[in-house]
C-alpha cells in the first residue's frame, strides 16, 4: 500500500491553526487544466483564495481535492483545487503559514493562451535614485474584501508607531 502524502494533513492543520487564532486562511494555488477556478482572476497561472468559513460554502479539504463554493463579484462559483496544486496556505493577517513545492507543468497550448490573455506589463525606465516599487500581490480572493494579503517579511522587525509630543 503506497504511503499517503503529508501535504493534505499539513494544509488542514494550518487551516485549523488560522481559524483557532482568529486569522483568515488563504491558499495560493497553481492553476492548470485540473483546477476549476474563475480564470479571470488567474495571474501567471496562480490565484490566491480566501478559504475562511465566512468566504466559503461547503468547504471540503480532502486528501486529493479542496472543494467549495465562493462568491466572486457577487456570483457563486464552484471551486475545485487538486491538493498537489496548492502552493501555500497562510494567515492573511500575518503571513504565517507553509509553502509547498508544486510541479509547474502546463501544456504549451495553455501556456500560449495564458501569454495572450495576460501579456507582460510594459516596463518603464528605471530611475536609480527612486526607491524600489512595492511587490505585486495576487488578486482574486473570493470575498469582496479589497485588502490584499500581506507580503510576508523576511527578517527585520515589525513596524511600530512612536508617539512624539
Domains, the chain, ordered by start = 7-117 (2.30.30.220)
pLDDT at 128: 42
Residue pair 90/149 in contact by the 8 Å Cβ criterion: yes
For the chain, residues with pLDDT lower than 50 are: 108-109, 120-142, 154
pTM of the model: 0.63
Q: How many CB atoms lie within 10 A of CB 8?
A: 18
pLDDT at 108: 47
pLDDT at 1: 75
Cα–Cα distance for residue pair 152/92, rounded to 1 Å? 9
Residue pair 25/13 in contact by the 8 Å Cβ criterion: no
pLDDT at 125: 42
Cα–Cα distance for residue pair 11/159, rounded to 1 Å? 29
Amino acid at each position: 500500500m503506497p504511503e499517503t502524502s503529508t501535504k493534505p494533513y499539513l494544509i488542514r492543520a494550518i487551516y485549523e491553526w488560522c481559524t483557532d487564532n482568529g486569522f483568515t486562511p488563504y491558499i495560493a494555488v497553481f492553476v492548470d487544466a485540473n483546477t476549476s477556478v474563475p480564470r479571470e482572476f488567474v495571474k501567471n497561472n496562480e490565484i490566491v483564495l480566501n478559504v475562511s468559513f465566512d468566504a466559503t460554502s461547503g468547504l471540503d479539504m480532502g486528501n486529493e481535492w479542496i472543494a467549495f463554493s465562493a462568491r466572486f463579484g457577487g456570483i457563486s462559483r464552484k471551486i475545485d483545487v487538486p491538493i498537489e496544486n496548492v502552493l501555500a496556505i497562510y494567515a492573511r493577517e500575518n503571513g504565517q503559514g507553509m509553502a509547498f513545492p508544486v510541479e509547474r507543468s502546463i501544456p504549451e497550448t495553455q501556456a500560449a493562451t495564458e501569454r495572450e490573455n495576460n501579456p507582460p506589463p510594459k516596463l518603464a525606465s528605471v530611475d536609480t535614485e527612486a526607491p524600489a516599487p512595492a511587490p505585486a500581490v495576487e488578486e482574486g480572493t473570493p470575498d469582496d474584501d479589497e485588502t490584499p494579503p500581506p507580503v510576508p517579511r523576511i527578517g527585520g522587525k515589525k513596524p511600530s508607531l512612536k508617539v512624539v509630543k
